[in-house]
Amino acid sequence: MELTFPEKPFHSHGGAHVPHRKNTAQMESAVMPPPAQVMIPMQQHLGAPCVPTVKVGDLVQVGQKIADSTAFVSAPIHASVSGKVSAVKQVMLSGGQYVDALVIDSDGEMTVSPEVKPPEVNTKEDFIQAVRESGLVGLGGAGFPAHVKLNVPEDKNIDTLIINAAECEPYITADHREAIENSWAVLSGVYAVKEMLGIDRMIIAVENNKPDVIETLNKIAYDDKRDPENHVRVLPLQASYPQGAEKVLIKSCTDREVPMGKLPADVGCVVMNITSVAFLADYLKTGMPLVKKRVTIDGSAVQYPKNVIVPIGTPIEEVIRFCGGYKVPPKKILMGGPMMGIAITDDSLPIIKQNNGIICLDEKEARSLEPTACIRCGRCVSGCPMRLVPTMLEKYAEKKMVEELQEYSIMDCMECGTCAYNCPAGRPLVQAIRLGKALIRNAGGKK
């Protein structure tokens, strides 16, 4: 059957109209000068942590591989500045776990390593290897190693590549700026993936609150020289949170529902973040691995919100200083957007690969109200994109009713936060669901 492009997005259940607050969408990204010191954690991805391949005292250059792993699900890590490895120390990641981090004292030169040269790509295997060597992980936030995602098993019939430029989190505009500032790379990246995976239908999905992105990408997608066979189309989506969540995005673009516990490949889709594909194109051209990242710095406590391109491993406080420092003392600092971002304890943590935003909130915005009793209004149910019943999940989690939690498909919750956002009683629904998931994991461990 000939696949066609959807004229308009398909219906997806639930969601919320969160405020956009895309204050930095029209600002040119600023490039941050190398900091005096970077701290590069050995785990910046889902999967096995890396082991350093350099030792304290070694001199390193930009783009040089400094850590790798033999595990399949992992991604190598590269030096983001040139200088000397001065220490290995433990650093707490935003999730609360401790990992080793290499500390590099920058010499300020940003000398590029001779290792950095365009990869030779002739076969699909070469391509997957190159993607692995680039250190690319899903830049949308999940940090899933890209070479694993692109190494689709032969038996899966992939017919659609979806480029995720929905960017539904408030504040965050890193992908928005990537699309505007690096739009040609987006298309080159899309074509590189197309040729390697043999996909004929590529949908760039953008929320309709970004008309400039839609226009820019449309111009290129309709350019006969770039896309002679019309394999690439931009699909404007409803600006509704969580439009950019992988399962929701696939539903909106293809009307397919990824079954529980399955992957996008099981419904013939590969989803890649727009910054990831643009990076891929740049890497194939230059060979420079993932050593810098565009991060949206915003929130009520930041003096001059902007998008900053920072070397990976730069401490957050340095980046904030680059943005004029704190306007008022921050009360909450988020890695990521306000809907799914993680509140961190300390602004000395480094920027890592999958960071796309640092949001600093002042006292007023950081404060949350005391929860009151659930009034059963059903807003959590009507908002849930996974069609779950958050209020019941909360009650069962509180009472530690593991069987009921499983019956109510708690593991399908992606913790998008729509339920808690909508809740008029301010119930900590996502928190309760996380506890419920932990209960199930523990129960499974015992059995």
Partner 1 sequence: MDTKLIVSSSPHLKSGATTQKIMLDVIIALVPAAIASCFIFGLQALLLILTCVVSCVLCEFLSRKVMKRDNTILDLSAVVTGLLLAFNLPVTISPVIAVFGSVVAIVVVKQMFGGIGQNFVNPALTARIVLMASFPAKMSNWVVPFWYRSAHPDAVTTASPLGLLKQGAADQIPSHLDMLLGARAGCLGETCAVALILGGIYLVARKVISPVIPLCYLGTVSVFSLLAGRDVILDLLSGGLLLGAIFMATDYTTSPIHFKGRIVFAVGCGILTMLIRMFGSLPEGVSFSIIIMNILVPLIERVTRPRPFGVKKEKKEGAQG
Task: Convert residues 367-396 into a mask of x (bound to partner 1 by CB under 8 A) and - (unbound).
Answer: xxx--xxxxxxxx-xx--xxxxx-x-----
- Round to whole Å and give the CA distance between 36 and 146: 30
CA angle 363, 367, 368 (to 5 degrees): 170
- The residue from 223, 346, 398, 403 that contacts partner 1 (CB under 8 A) is 346
Pick 324 or 426: Cβ nearer partner 1: 426
- The residue from 46, 343, 401, 440 that contacts partner 1 (CB under 8 A) is 343
- Round to whole Å and give the CA distance between 361 and 327: 10
Pick 319 or 430: Cβ nearer partner 1: 430
Yes or no: say if 242 and 168 are a contact pair by the CB < 8 Å rule.
Answer: yes
Distances (CA, A) of 6 to 111, 228, 229: 47, 19, 17
- Shortest reach from residue 163's CB to partner 1, in Å: 22
- Shortest reach from residue 343's CB to partner 1, in Å: 4
Question: Rule CB under 8 A: is residue 297 a binding residue for partner 1?
Answer: no
Pick 134 or 254: Cβ nearer partner 1: 254
- Round to whole Å and give the CA distance between 422 and 145: 33
- Round to whole Å and give the CA distance between 118 and 134: 10
- Round to whole Å and give the CA distance between 304 and 299: 9
DSSP 196-264: HHT--EEEEEEETT-HHHHHHHHHHHT-TTT-TT--EEEEEE---BTTTSHHHHHHHHHS--PPTT--G
Q: Which two tokens stand for residue 371?
A: 């929860």
- The residue from 163, 179, 333, 439 that contacts partner 1 (CB under 8 A) is 333
Count of residues that bind partner 1 according to CB under 8 A: 70
SS3 content of the chain, % helix, strand, coil (to 5): 30, 20, 50
- Shortest reach from residue 295's CB to partner 1, in Å: 17
Task: Convert residues 152-191 into a mask of x (bound to partner 1 by CB under 8 A) and - (unbound).
Answer: ------------------x---------------------
- The residue from 26, 97, 230, 345 that contacts partner 1 (CB under 8 A) is 345
Question: Rule CB under 8 A: is residue 338 a binding residue for partner 1?
Answer: yes
DSSP 57-73: T-EE-BT-EEEE-SSSS
Stretch that binds partner 1, among 100-108, 150-158, 232-240, 255-263 (CB under 8 A): 255-263
Question: Rule CB under 8 A: is residue 1 a binding residue for partner 1?
Answer: no
| 403-442: contacts with partner 1 (CB under 8 A) | 408-409, 412, 415, 417, 420-426, 428, 430-431, 434
Stretch that binds partner 1, among 11-19, 40-48, 65-73, 137-145 (CB under 8 A): 11-19
3-class SS string, 335-362: ECCCCCCEEECCCCCECCCCCCEEEEEC
Q: Which residues, listed in sequence order, are joined to residue 92 by a DSSP beta bridge?
A: 98
- Shortest reach from residue 293's CB to partner 1, in Å: 21
| 225-254: contacts with partner 1 (CB under 8 A) | 247, 251
- Round to whole Å and give the CA distance between 38 and 36: 7
Nearest Cα to 310, choosing from 112, 29, 21?
A: 29
Give residues in contact with partner 1 (CB under 8 A): 13, 16, 18-19, 170, 247, 251, 256-260, 262, 267, 317, 329-334, 338-348, 359, 361, 366-369, 372-379, 381-382, 385-389, 391, 408-409, 412, 415, 417, 420-426, 428, 430-431, 434
